[in-house]
Chain A
Amino acid sequence: MLRPFAYLKPASLKEALGVLSSHPGAVPLAGGTDLLVDIRSGKARPSLVVDLKGIPALAGIQVEDQLVSMGALVTVTDVLDSPVLDQRFAALQDAARVFGCQEICHRATLGGNLAHASPGSEYGTALAVFDARVELAGPDGVRILPLAEFLVEAGKNALQAGEILTRILIPQPPQGSRSAYRRGSRVRGMDLASFCCAVLVENPREVDRRRVRVAVGAMNPVPTRLAAVEGLLSGQPWNDELMARMQAEISRGLNPRAGSLRATPAYKRDCIGVLCRRALEDLCASGES
Protein backbone atom coordinates (compact mmCIF):
# COMPACT_ATOMS: atom_id res chain seq x y z
CA MET A 1 0.00 0.00 0.00
CA LEU A 2 1.27 3.43 -0.91
CA ARG A 3 1.03 6.26 1.62
CA PRO A 4 -2.32 7.95 0.90
CA PHE A 5 -2.54 10.98 -1.33
CA ALA A 6 -5.25 12.74 -3.31
CA TYR A 7 -5.45 12.63 -7.11
CA LEU A 8 -6.51 15.11 -9.74
CA LYS A 9 -6.39 14.95 -13.51
CA PRO A 10 -6.67 18.44 -14.98
CA ALA A 11 -7.84 18.90 -18.55
CA SER A 12 -5.66 21.91 -19.30
CA LEU A 13 -2.23 23.30 -18.53
CA LYS A 14 -3.82 26.34 -16.87
CA GLU A 15 -5.83 24.12 -14.55
CA ALA A 16 -2.76 22.02 -13.70
CA LEU A 17 -0.62 25.06 -12.93
CA GLY A 18 -3.39 26.46 -10.76
CA VAL A 19 -3.53 23.28 -8.71
CA LEU A 20 0.25 22.90 -8.43
CA SER A 21 0.78 26.44 -7.22
CA SER A 22 -2.05 26.35 -4.70
CA HIS A 23 -1.21 22.97 -3.12
CA PRO A 24 2.25 22.89 -1.54
CA GLY A 25 2.32 19.09 -1.28
CA ALA A 26 1.28 18.52 -4.90
CA VAL A 27 3.54 16.77 -7.40
CA PRO A 28 3.04 16.19 -11.12
CA LEU A 29 2.57 12.64 -12.45
CA ALA A 30 3.68 11.78 -15.97
CA GLY A 31 4.63 8.14 -16.64
CA GLY A 32 4.96 7.26 -12.98
CA THR A 33 8.02 5.05 -13.45
CA ASP A 34 10.12 7.24 -11.16
CA LEU A 35 7.42 8.85 -9.01
CA LEU A 36 5.72 5.66 -7.89
CA VAL A 37 9.05 4.09 -7.00
CA ASP A 38 9.88 7.20 -4.94
CA ILE A 39 6.49 7.21 -3.23
CA ARG A 40 6.90 3.56 -2.33
CA SER A 41 10.37 4.14 -0.87
CA GLY A 42 9.24 7.23 1.00
CA LYS A 43 11.57 9.52 -0.94
CA ALA A 44 8.48 11.35 -2.23
CA ARG A 45 5.56 12.05 0.09
CA PRO A 46 3.02 14.01 -1.91
CA SER A 47 -0.33 14.96 -0.48
CA LEU A 48 -1.68 15.34 -4.00
CA VAL A 49 -0.73 13.77 -7.31
CA VAL A 50 -1.60 15.80 -10.40
CA ASP A 51 -1.90 13.53 -13.42
CA LEU A 52 -0.68 15.47 -16.46
CA LYS A 53 -1.75 12.93 -19.04
CA GLY A 54 -4.99 14.72 -19.91
CA ILE A 55 -3.25 17.91 -21.08
CA PRO A 56 -2.95 18.18 -24.87
CA ALA A 57 -0.29 20.93 -24.71
CA LEU A 58 2.17 18.42 -23.25
CA ALA A 59 1.74 15.79 -25.95
CA GLY A 60 3.16 15.11 -29.37
CA ILE A 61 6.26 15.65 -31.46
CA GLN A 62 5.98 18.66 -33.74
CA VAL A 63 8.45 19.38 -36.50
CA GLU A 64 8.65 23.02 -37.48
CA ASP A 65 10.97 24.79 -39.83
CA GLN A 66 13.90 25.30 -37.49
CA LEU A 67 12.79 23.34 -34.48
CA VAL A 68 11.54 19.99 -33.27
CA SER A 69 9.26 20.44 -30.28
CA MET A 70 8.60 17.40 -28.10
CA GLY A 71 5.92 17.44 -25.47
CA ALA A 72 7.05 16.52 -21.96
CA LEU A 73 4.67 13.57 -22.05
CA VAL A 74 6.22 12.02 -25.15
CA THR A 75 7.10 8.49 -24.10
CA VAL A 76 10.31 6.64 -24.84
CA THR A 77 8.31 4.33 -27.11
CA ASP A 78 6.89 7.39 -28.92
CA VAL A 79 10.47 8.46 -29.70
CA LEU A 80 11.43 4.99 -30.92
CA ASP A 81 8.37 4.70 -33.15
CA SER A 82 8.27 8.29 -34.38
CA PRO A 83 8.08 8.58 -38.15
CA VAL A 84 9.14 12.22 -38.08
CA LEU A 85 12.55 11.79 -36.47
CA ASP A 86 15.03 11.17 -39.26
CA GLN A 87 18.54 9.81 -39.10
CA ARG A 88 19.92 13.02 -37.64
CA PHE A 89 18.07 12.11 -34.43
CA ALA A 90 19.40 8.56 -34.22
CA ALA A 91 20.91 9.27 -30.79
CA LEU A 92 17.39 9.74 -29.38
CA GLN A 93 16.33 6.37 -30.75
CA ASP A 94 19.55 4.67 -29.63
CA ALA A 95 18.69 5.91 -26.14
CA ALA A 96 15.15 4.55 -26.44
CA ARG A 97 16.48 1.10 -27.27
CA VAL A 98 18.49 0.83 -24.05
CA PHE A 99 16.28 2.89 -21.78
CA GLY A 100 14.76 -0.08 -20.00
CA CYS A 101 12.34 -2.85 -20.64
CA GLN A 102 9.51 -2.25 -23.07
CA GLU A 103 6.89 -1.95 -20.34
CA ILE A 104 8.80 0.93 -18.78
CA CYS A 105 9.40 2.54 -22.19
CA HIS A 106 5.67 2.53 -22.94
CA ARG A 107 5.03 4.74 -19.90
CA ALA A 108 8.23 6.64 -19.13
CA THR A 109 8.30 10.15 -20.56
CA LEU A 110 11.08 12.44 -21.76
CA GLY A 111 9.89 15.18 -19.42
CA GLY A 112 9.98 12.84 -16.46
CA ASN A 113 13.40 11.50 -17.40
CA LEU A 114 14.83 15.01 -17.61
CA ALA A 115 13.09 16.25 -14.46
CA HIS A 116 14.41 13.31 -12.43
CA ALA A 117 17.89 14.66 -13.30
CA SER A 118 19.79 11.43 -12.90
CA PRO A 119 23.54 11.87 -13.64
CA GLY A 120 23.42 9.19 -16.33
CA SER A 121 19.95 9.80 -17.65
CA GLU A 122 19.50 8.65 -21.21
CA TYR A 123 17.83 11.81 -22.39
CA GLY A 124 19.86 14.23 -20.29
CA THR A 125 22.90 12.92 -22.13
CA ALA A 126 21.42 12.34 -25.59
CA LEU A 127 19.70 15.73 -25.76
CA ALA A 128 22.87 17.50 -24.65
CA VAL A 129 24.36 17.12 -28.13
CA PHE A 130 21.30 18.65 -29.74
CA ASP A 131 21.65 21.95 -27.84
CA ALA A 132 18.16 21.26 -26.54
CA ARG A 133 16.26 23.74 -24.46
CA VAL A 134 13.34 23.15 -22.14
CA GLU A 135 10.17 25.16 -21.87
CA LEU A 136 8.91 25.58 -18.32
CA ALA A 137 5.46 26.89 -17.43
CA GLY A 138 4.47 28.23 -14.03
CA PRO A 139 2.32 30.73 -12.21
CA ASP A 140 4.49 33.60 -13.48
CA GLY A 141 4.41 32.51 -17.10
CA VAL A 142 6.62 30.59 -19.47
CA ARG A 143 10.40 30.56 -19.55
CA ILE A 144 12.93 28.69 -21.67
CA LEU A 145 16.22 27.35 -20.37
CA PRO A 146 19.13 25.60 -22.01
CA LEU A 147 19.10 21.96 -20.90
CA ALA A 148 22.46 22.44 -19.18
CA GLU A 149 20.89 25.07 -16.94
CA PHE A 150 17.85 22.91 -16.25
CA LEU A 151 19.94 20.02 -14.94
CA VAL A 152 21.43 21.65 -11.88
CA GLU A 153 22.85 18.80 -9.79
CA ALA A 154 22.49 15.07 -9.43
CA GLY A 155 18.78 14.62 -8.82
CA LYS A 156 18.02 18.34 -8.89
CA ASN A 157 16.43 20.40 -11.64
CA ALA A 158 15.77 24.12 -12.03
CA LEU A 159 11.99 23.95 -11.68
CA GLN A 160 10.61 26.55 -9.30
CA ALA A 161 7.56 26.06 -7.12
CA GLY A 162 4.46 25.48 -9.20
CA GLU A 163 6.39 25.02 -12.48
CA ILE A 164 6.36 22.08 -14.79
CA LEU A 165 8.41 21.18 -17.83
CA THR A 166 6.09 21.43 -20.80
CA ARG A 167 8.15 20.97 -23.96
CA ILE A 168 11.63 20.06 -25.12
CA LEU A 169 12.87 22.26 -27.94
CA ILE A 170 15.48 20.90 -30.32
CA PRO A 171 16.98 23.15 -32.98
CA GLN A 172 17.06 21.18 -36.20
CA PRO A 173 20.60 19.85 -36.75
CA PRO A 174 22.03 20.57 -40.22
CA GLN A 175 21.01 18.18 -42.99
CA GLY A 176 23.38 15.25 -43.25
CA SER A 177 24.26 15.33 -39.53
CA ARG A 178 24.51 12.02 -37.77
CA SER A 179 24.21 11.24 -34.09
CA ALA A 180 24.56 8.28 -31.76
CA TYR A 181 24.07 7.42 -28.10
CA ARG A 182 26.04 4.65 -26.49
CA ARG A 183 26.28 3.36 -23.00
CA GLY A 184 28.04 0.77 -20.87
CA SER A 185 25.96 -1.04 -18.31
CA ARG A 186 26.27 -4.17 -16.22
CA VAL A 187 23.44 -5.97 -17.95
CA ARG A 188 21.41 -5.42 -21.07
CA GLY A 189 17.75 -4.80 -20.44
CA MET A 190 17.16 -3.22 -17.08
CA ASP A 191 20.05 -1.21 -15.73
CA LEU A 192 21.05 2.40 -15.47
CA ALA A 193 24.15 3.46 -17.37
CA SER A 194 27.53 2.88 -15.77
CA PHE A 195 28.84 5.44 -18.26
CA CYS A 196 27.33 6.84 -21.43
CA CYS A 197 27.95 9.25 -24.24
CA ALA A 198 26.15 11.00 -27.05
CA VAL A 199 27.81 12.32 -30.17
CA LEU A 200 26.60 14.44 -33.07
CA VAL A 201 28.67 15.05 -36.17
CA GLU A 202 27.83 17.71 -38.75
CA ASN A 203 29.13 16.97 -42.25
CA PRO A 204 30.57 13.60 -41.23
CA ARG A 205 32.30 12.99 -44.56
CA GLU A 206 33.81 16.42 -45.21
CA VAL A 207 36.81 16.88 -43.01
CA ASP A 208 37.04 20.67 -43.34
CA ARG A 209 33.41 21.30 -42.47
CA ARG A 210 33.06 18.51 -39.92
CA ARG A 211 31.89 19.67 -36.51
CA VAL A 212 31.64 17.38 -33.53
CA ARG A 213 29.55 17.54 -30.38
CA VAL A 214 30.23 15.14 -27.53
CA ALA A 215 28.43 14.71 -24.21
CA VAL A 216 29.07 12.20 -21.44
CA GLY A 217 26.77 11.00 -18.70
CA ALA A 218 27.17 9.12 -15.41
CA MET A 219 30.64 10.63 -15.22
CA ASN A 220 29.78 13.93 -13.51
CA PRO A 221 26.80 14.97 -11.38
CA VAL A 222 25.09 16.12 -14.59
CA PRO A 223 25.54 15.16 -18.27
CA THR A 224 28.40 17.25 -19.64
CA ARG A 225 29.45 18.54 -23.03
CA LEU A 226 33.19 18.14 -23.65
CA ALA A 227 34.23 21.38 -25.33
CA ALA A 228 37.94 20.55 -25.40
CA VAL A 229 37.31 17.27 -27.19
CA GLU A 230 34.95 18.94 -29.63
CA GLY A 231 37.62 21.49 -30.45
CA LEU A 232 40.24 18.78 -30.91
CA LEU A 233 38.20 16.83 -33.44
CA SER A 234 36.35 19.43 -35.45
CA GLY A 235 37.78 20.21 -38.84
CA GLN A 236 40.60 17.65 -38.46
CA PRO A 237 41.27 14.36 -40.24
CA TRP A 238 40.71 11.57 -37.75
CA ASN A 239 43.76 9.36 -37.69
CA ASP A 240 44.69 6.86 -35.01
CA GLU A 241 46.98 9.35 -33.32
CA LEU A 242 44.32 12.01 -33.00
CA MET A 243 41.71 9.58 -31.77
CA ALA A 244 44.11 8.21 -29.17
CA ARG A 245 44.79 11.78 -28.00
CA MET A 246 41.06 12.38 -27.84
CA GLN A 247 40.55 9.26 -25.74
CA ALA A 248 43.24 10.34 -23.31
CA GLU A 249 41.86 13.87 -23.19
CA ILE A 250 38.38 12.59 -22.30
CA SER A 251 39.63 10.26 -19.60
CA ARG A 252 41.94 12.87 -18.10
CA GLY A 253 39.32 15.57 -17.93
CA LEU A 254 36.70 13.65 -15.97
CA ASN A 255 36.64 12.85 -12.28
CA PRO A 256 33.70 10.59 -11.48
CA ARG A 257 32.88 10.19 -7.82
CA ALA A 258 33.71 7.10 -5.87
CA GLY A 259 30.87 5.06 -4.40
CA SER A 260 28.81 4.54 -7.54
CA LEU A 261 27.02 1.20 -7.47
CA ARG A 262 27.76 0.47 -11.04
CA ALA A 263 31.41 1.13 -11.77
CA THR A 264 34.53 2.46 -10.10
CA PRO A 265 35.94 5.84 -11.11
CA ALA A 266 38.96 4.18 -12.74
CA TYR A 267 36.79 1.85 -14.79
CA LYS A 268 34.53 4.68 -15.91
CA ARG A 269 37.50 6.82 -16.86
CA ASP A 270 39.08 4.00 -18.85
CA CYS A 271 35.89 3.07 -20.66
CA ILE A 272 34.35 6.42 -21.51
CA GLY A 273 37.13 7.37 -23.92
CA VAL A 274 36.77 4.05 -25.74
CA LEU A 275 33.00 4.44 -25.89
CA CYS A 276 33.21 7.94 -27.37
CA ARG A 277 35.81 6.88 -29.89
CA ARG A 278 33.72 3.92 -31.05
CA ALA A 279 30.59 6.05 -31.33
CA LEU A 280 32.40 8.65 -33.43
CA GLU A 281 34.16 6.15 -35.65
CA ASP A 282 30.92 4.23 -36.24
CA LEU A 283 29.24 7.45 -37.37
CA CYS A 284 31.92 8.19 -39.90
CA ALA A 285 32.52 4.58 -40.83
CA SER A 286 32.57 5.09 -44.53
CA GLY A 287 35.13 7.49 -43.96
CA GLU A 288 38.24 8.64 -43.02
CA SER A 289 41.94 8.49 -42.93
Chain B
Amino acid sequence: MQHQIRITVNGEEHRLTVPSHRTLLEFLREDLGLTGVKEGCGNGECGACTVLLDGVPVRSCLILALEAGNCKVETIEGLARGGLLHPLQEAFIEAGAVQCGFCTPGFIMAGKALLDRSPRPTPAQVYQAFGGHLCRCTGYETILRAMELAADKGA
Protein backbone atom coordinates (compact mmCIF):
# COMPACT_ATOMS: atom_id res chain seq x y z
CA MET B 1 0.00 0.00 0.00
CA GLN B 2 1.48 3.33 -1.08
CA HIS B 3 0.99 6.56 0.85
CA GLN B 4 1.87 10.20 0.31
CA ILE B 5 4.09 11.49 3.05
CA ARG B 6 5.05 15.05 3.90
CA ILE B 7 8.09 15.19 6.13
CA THR B 8 10.72 17.78 7.01
CA VAL B 9 14.25 16.42 7.21
CA ASN B 10 17.13 18.65 8.27
CA GLY B 11 14.98 21.69 7.59
CA GLU B 12 13.96 20.66 4.10
CA GLU B 13 10.41 19.58 3.30
CA HIS B 14 9.87 16.48 1.20
CA ARG B 15 6.71 15.10 -0.34
CA LEU B 16 7.13 11.53 -1.50
CA THR B 17 5.22 8.32 -1.98
CA VAL B 18 6.30 5.45 0.24
CA PRO B 19 5.05 1.95 0.94
CA SER B 20 3.43 1.31 4.33
CA HIS B 21 6.10 -1.10 5.45
CA ARG B 22 9.06 1.22 4.85
CA THR B 23 10.84 2.04 8.09
CA LEU B 24 12.03 5.57 8.80
CA LEU B 25 15.60 4.23 8.67
CA GLU B 26 15.09 2.81 5.18
CA PHE B 27 13.31 5.96 4.06
CA LEU B 28 16.12 8.24 5.21
CA ARG B 29 18.86 6.09 3.72
CA GLU B 30 17.25 4.90 0.51
CA ASP B 31 14.63 7.47 -0.43
CA LEU B 32 16.56 10.53 0.72
CA GLY B 33 20.13 9.25 0.39
CA LEU B 34 20.98 10.18 3.99
CA THR B 35 23.32 7.30 4.67
CA GLY B 36 24.75 8.83 7.84
CA VAL B 37 21.95 7.00 9.66
CA LYS B 38 23.11 3.40 10.11
CA GLU B 39 21.48 0.04 10.61
CA GLY B 40 23.46 -1.74 13.33
CA CYS B 41 21.08 -4.33 14.71
CA GLY B 42 17.66 -3.61 13.22
CA ASN B 43 16.05 -4.21 16.62
CA GLY B 44 16.45 -0.92 18.43
CA GLU B 45 19.22 -2.21 20.69
CA CYS B 46 22.43 -0.64 19.38
CA GLY B 47 21.63 3.03 18.81
CA ALA B 48 23.27 3.38 15.39
CA CYS B 49 19.96 4.35 13.78
CA THR B 50 19.18 7.15 16.24
CA VAL B 51 17.70 10.31 14.76
CA LEU B 52 15.73 13.16 16.30
CA LEU B 53 11.97 13.15 15.69
CA ASP B 54 10.55 16.54 16.66
CA GLY B 55 13.65 16.97 18.80
CA VAL B 56 13.30 13.61 20.56
CA PRO B 57 15.89 10.86 20.02
CA VAL B 58 14.30 7.69 18.65
CA ARG B 59 15.23 4.41 17.00
CA SER B 60 14.48 4.91 13.33
CA CYS B 61 14.63 1.15 12.69
CA LEU B 62 11.55 0.69 14.87
CA ILE B 63 9.48 3.48 13.35
CA LEU B 64 7.57 3.36 10.07
CA ALA B 65 8.25 6.25 7.71
CA LEU B 66 4.52 6.98 7.76
CA GLU B 67 4.62 7.46 11.53
CA ALA B 68 6.96 10.40 10.93
CA GLY B 69 4.60 12.13 8.54
CA ASN B 70 4.21 15.86 9.23
CA CYS B 71 7.13 15.65 11.66
CA LYS B 72 10.58 17.20 11.72
CA VAL B 73 13.47 14.78 11.53
CA GLU B 74 17.11 15.66 12.16
CA THR B 75 19.97 13.43 11.08
CA ILE B 76 23.75 13.78 11.35
CA GLU B 77 23.81 15.37 7.91
CA GLY B 78 21.87 18.32 9.28
CA LEU B 79 24.37 19.34 11.92
CA ALA B 80 27.09 21.01 9.90
CA ARG B 81 26.14 24.39 8.43
CA GLY B 82 27.80 25.81 5.35
CA GLY B 83 30.69 23.41 5.62
CA LEU B 84 31.30 24.27 9.28
CA LEU B 85 31.06 21.42 11.72
CA HIS B 86 28.70 21.60 14.70
CA PRO B 87 30.65 22.05 17.98
CA LEU B 88 29.56 18.56 19.00
CA GLN B 89 31.11 17.09 15.86
CA GLU B 90 34.29 19.07 16.49
CA ALA B 91 34.38 17.81 20.07
CA PHE B 92 34.08 14.19 18.95
CA ILE B 93 37.01 14.65 16.60
CA GLU B 94 39.16 16.50 19.15
CA ALA B 95 38.49 13.91 21.83
CA GLY B 96 39.36 11.01 19.53
CA ALA B 97 35.84 9.68 19.97
CA VAL B 98 35.55 8.51 16.37
CA GLN B 99 37.33 5.32 15.29
CA CYS B 100 35.39 3.32 12.75
CA GLY B 101 32.65 5.91 12.93
CA PHE B 102 29.72 3.53 12.60
CA CYS B 103 28.15 4.32 15.98
CA THR B 104 29.08 7.99 15.80
CA PRO B 105 26.03 9.51 14.12
CA GLY B 106 23.75 7.80 16.64
CA PHE B 107 25.84 8.97 19.60
CA ILE B 108 26.03 12.51 18.26
CA MET B 109 22.28 12.78 17.67
CA ALA B 110 21.56 11.50 21.18
CA GLY B 111 24.25 13.80 22.54
CA LYS B 112 22.76 16.77 20.71
CA ALA B 113 19.32 16.05 22.14
CA LEU B 114 20.81 15.98 25.64
CA LEU B 115 22.80 19.20 25.22
CA ASP B 116 19.78 20.96 23.74
CA ARG B 117 17.90 20.15 26.96
CA SER B 118 20.76 20.31 29.49
CA PRO B 119 23.71 22.38 28.25
CA ARG B 120 25.90 21.19 31.15
CA PRO B 121 24.82 17.61 31.73
CA THR B 122 26.06 15.62 34.69
CA PRO B 123 27.91 12.35 34.07
CA ALA B 124 24.77 10.51 35.20
CA GLN B 125 22.69 12.32 32.59
CA VAL B 126 25.24 11.50 29.88
CA TYR B 127 25.23 7.83 30.92
CA GLN B 128 21.46 7.80 30.83
CA ALA B 129 21.38 9.41 27.39
CA PHE B 130 23.87 6.89 26.00
CA GLY B 131 22.64 3.79 27.86
CA GLY B 132 21.33 2.27 24.64
CA HIS B 133 24.28 3.10 22.40
CA LEU B 134 26.97 0.52 21.71
CA CYS B 135 30.50 1.25 20.55
CA ARG B 136 32.88 -1.57 19.80
CA CYS B 137 35.93 0.58 19.17
CA THR B 138 36.47 3.35 21.67
CA GLY B 139 35.66 1.90 25.05
CA TYR B 140 33.39 4.94 25.56
CA GLU B 141 35.88 7.08 27.54
CA THR B 142 36.67 9.34 24.60
CA ILE B 143 32.96 9.69 23.84
CA LEU B 144 32.31 10.86 27.40
CA ARG B 145 35.22 13.28 27.11
CA ALA B 146 33.77 14.56 23.84
CA MET B 147 30.55 15.40 25.63
CA GLU B 148 32.45 17.38 28.28
CA LEU B 149 34.31 19.22 25.55
CA ALA B 150 31.10 19.90 23.69
CA ALA B 151 29.46 21.30 26.82
CA ASP B 152 32.49 23.56 27.30
CA LYS B 153 32.12 24.75 23.73
CA GLY B 154 28.50 25.61 24.41
CA ALA B 155 27.28 23.01 21.93
Q: Which of chain A's residues have a CB closer than 8 A to the CB of B58?
A: 103, 106-107
How far apart are B74's CB and chain A's nearest CB, in angstroms?
A: 14
Q: Is A5 an interface residue (CB 8 A)?
A: yes
Q: Is residue A101 contacting chain B, with contact meaning CB distance below 8 A?
A: yes
Between A and B, how many residue pairs show CB distances below 8 Å? 83
Contacts known (A4-B21, A6-B1, A103-B44); A32 close to B62, Cβ less than 8 A: yes
Tell me whether A5 and B21 are in contact (CB under 8 A). Answer: yes
A104:B132 contact, CB within 8 angstroms: yes
Asked whether A103 and B19 contact (CB < 8 A) given A6-B1, A7-B66, A36-B62, the answer is no
Cβ-based interface call for B47 (8 A): yes
Partner of B21 from A3, A32, A100 at Cβ < 8 Å: A3
The contact of A1 among B26, B44, B45, B47, by CB within 8 Å, is: B26
- Interfacial chain B residues near A3, Cβ < 8 Å: 21
Within 8 A of A (CB), among B65-93: 66-67
A107 CA / B62 CA spacing, docked (Å): 9
Would B131 and A2 count as touching, CB distance under 8 A? no
In the complex, what residue of chain A is closest to B42 when comparing beta carbons? A40
The 0/1 profile, CB within 8 Å of B marked 1, for residues 1-17 of chain A is 11111110100000000
Q: Is the CB of A107 within 8 A of B59?
A: yes
Q: Does B149 contact A (CB under 8 A)?
A: no
Chain A: minimal CB distance from B105 (Å)? 13
Main secondary structure of the interface of A (DSSP, over half): loop
Interface size class of A (residues with CB under 8 A): 20 to 34
Q: Which residue of A1, A2, A53, A103 is within 8 Å of B59 (Cβ)?
A: A103
B57 contacts A33, CB within 8 Å?
Answer: no
A234 within 8 A of B: no
Please give, as numbers and ranges, the residues of chain B lying within 8 Å of A188 by CB-CB distance.
131
Q: Which residues of A contact B122 (CB under 8 A)?
A: none
Mask of A85-101 contacts with B, CB within 8 angstroms, 1/0: 00000000000000011
CB distance from B68 to the nearest CB of A (A): 11
- Tell me, yes or no, whether A189 is within 8 Å of chain B by CB: yes
Residue A285 is within 8 A (CB to CB) of chain B in the complex: no
Complex contact B43–A40 (CB within 8 A): yes
CB of A190 within 8 A of chain B? Answer: yes
Identify the closest chain B residue to A53 (Cβ).
B67
How far does the Cβ of B122 sit from chain A's closest Cβ, in whole Å? Answer: 15
Q: Is B147 an interface residue (CB 8 A)?
A: no
B129 within 8 A of A: yes
Please judge, given known A-B contacts A1-B26, A102-B129, whether A190 and B59 are in contact too, CB under 8 Å.
Answer: no
Q: A32, A33, A51 — which one has the most chain B CB atoms within 10 A of its CB?
A: A32
Q: Are B133 and A32 in contact (CB under 8 A)?
A: no
Q: Is the CB of A51 within 8 A of B66?
A: yes
User: In the complex, are the beta carbons of A103 and B132 less than 8 A apart?
Assistant: yes
Binary interface encoding of chain A residues 25-38 relative to chain B, with 1 for a CB under 8 A from any of its CBs, else 0: 00001001100110
In Å, the complex CA distance between A107 and B68 comes to: 12
Q: How far is the CA of A107 from the CA of B49 in the complex (A)?
A: 15
Which residues of chain B come closer than 8 Å to A107, judged between CB atoms?
A: 58-59, 62-63
- Whole-angstrom distance between the alpha carbons of A1 and B23 in the complex? 8
Nearest chain B residue, comparing its CB with the CB of A189? B131
6 tightest Cβ-Cβ pairs between the two chains A and B: A101-B132, A7-B20, A189-B131, A6-B1, A2-B21, A36-B62
A–B pairs, 16, beta carbons within 8 Å: A4-B20, A4-B21, A5-B21, A7-B20, A7-B66, A33-B44, A33-B59, A36-B44, A37-B44, A102-B132, A103-B47, A103-B58, A106-B56, A107-B58, A190-B45, A190-B131
- Further 18 A-B residue pairs, CB within 8 A, beyond A2-B21, A7-B20: A1-B26, A2-B23, A4-B21, A6-B1, A6-B20, A7-B1, A7-B3, A32-B63, A33-B59, A36-B23, A37-B62, A49-B64, A101-B131, A101-B133, A103-B57, A103-B58, A106-B56, A107-B63
